[in-house]
C-alpha cells in the first residue's frame, strides 16, 4: 500500500468514526432540553450528558431514569418528575432541580445548582429528601464541572481529521 493510499484510508476511517459520533451528540442535545437542567447533570463530580444511559457520553444500555424517560415518551411529565427512578429517596424532580414539578420545556428550572443524577442512587442532590425525617448532612454535590466533555472529544476528532487532511495534501 502506498503512503498516499494509507493516508487516504486513514482519513476515511477517521471521518467515519467522527461521523458516527455526530448523530449521538445530536440525540443527547435533543433529550437534554426535554428535562430540567439536562445539561447540568453530574454524578460523583463527573458531568453526565447522556443522562439516560449507563455511560456518561450516552449510547448503549439505559439506566433506571433512561428507562422511565423512554416510557414517558421522552418527555418531562408529572409522573416522571414525581418518580424516584433510582430509589435513592429523591424524586427525579428533586434531583434535576424541579422539586415542585412545575418545569416546562424551555423554562428556567426552580433550582440549577446541586443537580444530581436521577438514574444512580449514589448520586443525590444537595437537599433533604421530602419523605425523610433524617437530619443527616446533605451531600454536597457541586455542579461546577464542565458539561463540555462531549464537545471536547468532538474537537479532538475534528483536529485529527484536519491533520490527516493536511498530510494528504502534503503527500499528494
List interacting residues with Ca ion (CB under 5 A).
Answer: 84, 86, 88, 90
HEC profile for 70-118?
HHCCCCCCHHHHHCCCCCCCCCHHHHHCCCCCCCCCCCCCCCCCCCCCC
Minimum CB distance to Ca ion smaller for 84 or for 98? 84
How many Å is the Cα radius of gyration of the chain?
20
| Distance in Å, CB of 66 to Ca ion, minimum | 13
How far from chain centre, in Å, is Cα 114?
Answer: 16
Minimum CB distance to Ca ion smaller for 41 or for 157? 41
- What sections of the chain are H helices per DSSP? 3-32, 64-71, 78-82, 92-96, 149-171
Minimum CB distance to Ca ion smaller for 32 or for 91? 91
| Distance in Å, CB of 124 to Ca ion, minimum | 7
| Distance in Å, CB of 99 to Ca ion, minimum | 12
Residue for grid cell 414517558: 72
| Distance in Å, CB of 63 to Ca ion, minimum | 11
Query: Residue 40 belongs to what H/E stretch?
Result: none
| Distance in Å, CB of 56 to Ca ion, minimum | 18
Query: Residue 43 belongs to what H/E stretch?
Result: strand 42-43
**Gap between the Cα atoms of 35 and 142, Å rounded:** 19
Amino acid at each position: 500500500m502506498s503512503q498516499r493510499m494509507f493516508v487516504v484510508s486513514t482519513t476515511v476511517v477517521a471521518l467515519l468514526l467522527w461521523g458516527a459520533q455526530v448523530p449521538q451528540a445530536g440525540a443527547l442535545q435533543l433529550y437534554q432540553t426535554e428535562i430540567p437542567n439536562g445539561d447540568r447533570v453530574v454524578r460523583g463530580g463527573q458531568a453526565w450528558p447522556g443522562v439516560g444511559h449507563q455511560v456518561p457520553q450516552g449510547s448503549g444500555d439505559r439506566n433506571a431514569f433512561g428507562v422511565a424517560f423512554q416510557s414517558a415518551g421522552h418527555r418531562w411529565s408529572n409522573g416522571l418528575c414525581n418518580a424516584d427512578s433510582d430509589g435513592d429517596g429523591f424524586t427525579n424532580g428533586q434531583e434535576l432541580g424541579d422539586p415542585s414539578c412545575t418545569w416546562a420545556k424551555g423554562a428556567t428550572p426552580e433550582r440549577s445548582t446541586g443537580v444530581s443524577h436521577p438514574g444512580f442512587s449514589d448520586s443525590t442532590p444537595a437537599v433533604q429528601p421530602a419523605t425523610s425525617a433524617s437530619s443527616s448532612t446533605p451531600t454536597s454535590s457541586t455542579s461546577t464541572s464542565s458539561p463540555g466533555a462531549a464537545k471536547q472529544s468532538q474537537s479532538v476528532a475534528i483536529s485529527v481529521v484536519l491533520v490527516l487532511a493536511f498530510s494528504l495534501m502534503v503527500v499528494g
